[in-house]
């Protein structure tokens, strides 16, 4: 176990054996007294812990747990493929290791699908759910073909010049919060996944959709979408909101696929408004 300061990362980092896999796990403030449950965060496809570390560090009043998927960041390559069920079970074992019983669950993009599955598979461990720039899986409205073609190119992780040149096409949106969250900062935090790690992440969601199960989701859900997202168009958030009874949709004006970073202040404000709101009697009744 170690405290890491790599890039913007200031967290406790450890390798944890869970579900027969070795995963690099980062957690913030779990040992500190808090009135809030920690957040379990599922990252986007191919993204390492450092990519979303600024969000974890802004939420100073609560714990935060995130891990590199197999073959991503510094987690070793997966030996066997996995699916949402097995990876959510593995995530629950990570929580067991860290002594976390109840958490708020959040995911972005690919990780938003995993977060949906976790909330459905482990409802007793999930308090509230936040879905950012994500879809119900294969039953989605695809994004801009130009952005999707660039997303499939592995150079977006290994070639800073390629990423810089195609950043707007890939992610859309404007950088409202300025230099602290600009694209150069994001590019500098990325570490390319291994070819096998990236492939297995793609295969994990092949044929998966949450849509038939979403009407039975009994959690309070915040859906956050950018109106200039070139990868996951806003209509996907509206589909999620129409399928989930206890949901609210927050649209970030001018937000692209990385609005959690480019609109960090607005995103954190929305997260706090949602997660800190008192439990309603209906919510407590559903939990019981």
Provide the annotated active-site residues.
109
On whether the CB atoms of residues 110 and 206 are closer than 8 A, the answer is no
Angle, CA 106 vertex, CA 101 and CA 109 arms, to 5°: 145
C-beta atoms surrounding 79 within 10 Å? 10
Whole-number Å distance between alpha carbons of 99 and 288:
22
Whole-number Å distance between alpha carbons of 262 and 204:
28
């Amino acid at each position: 176990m170690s405290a890491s300061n790599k890039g913007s990362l200031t967290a406790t980092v450890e390798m944890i054996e869970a579900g027969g896999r070795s995963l690099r796990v980062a957690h913030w403030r779990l040992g500190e007294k808090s009135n809030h449950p920690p957040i379990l965060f599922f990252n986007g496809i191919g993204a390492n812990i450092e990519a979303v570390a600024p969000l974890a560090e802004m939420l100073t009043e609560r714990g935060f747990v995130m891990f590199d998927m197999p073959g991503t960041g510094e987690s070793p390559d997966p030996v066997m493929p996995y699916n949402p069920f097995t990876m959510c079970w593995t995530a629950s074992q990570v929580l067991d290791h860290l002594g976390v019983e109840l958490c708020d669950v959040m995911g972005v993009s690919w990780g938003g699908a995993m977060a949906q599955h976790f909330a459905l598979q482990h409802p007793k461990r999930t308090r509230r759910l936040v879905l950012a720039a994500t879809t119900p899986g294969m039953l989605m409205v695809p994004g801009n073909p130009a952005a999707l073609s660039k997303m499939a190119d592995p150079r977006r992780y290994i070639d800073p010049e390629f990423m810089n040149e195609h950043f707007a096409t890939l992610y859309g949106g404007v950088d409202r919060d300025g230099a602290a969250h600009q694209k150069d900062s994001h590019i500098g935090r990325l570490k390319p996944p291994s070819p096998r790690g990236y492939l297995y992440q793609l295969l994990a969601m092949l044929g998966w959709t949450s849509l038939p199960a979403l009407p039975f989701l009994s959690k309070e859900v915040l859906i956050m979408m950018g109106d200039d997202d070139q990868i996951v168009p806003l209509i996907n958030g509206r589909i999620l909101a129409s399928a989930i009874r206890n949901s609210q949709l927050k649209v970030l004006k001018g937000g692209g696929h990385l609005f959690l970073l480019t609109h960090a202040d607005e995103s954190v404000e929305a997260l706090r408004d949602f997660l800190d709101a008192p439990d309603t009697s209906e919510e407590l009744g559903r939990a019981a």
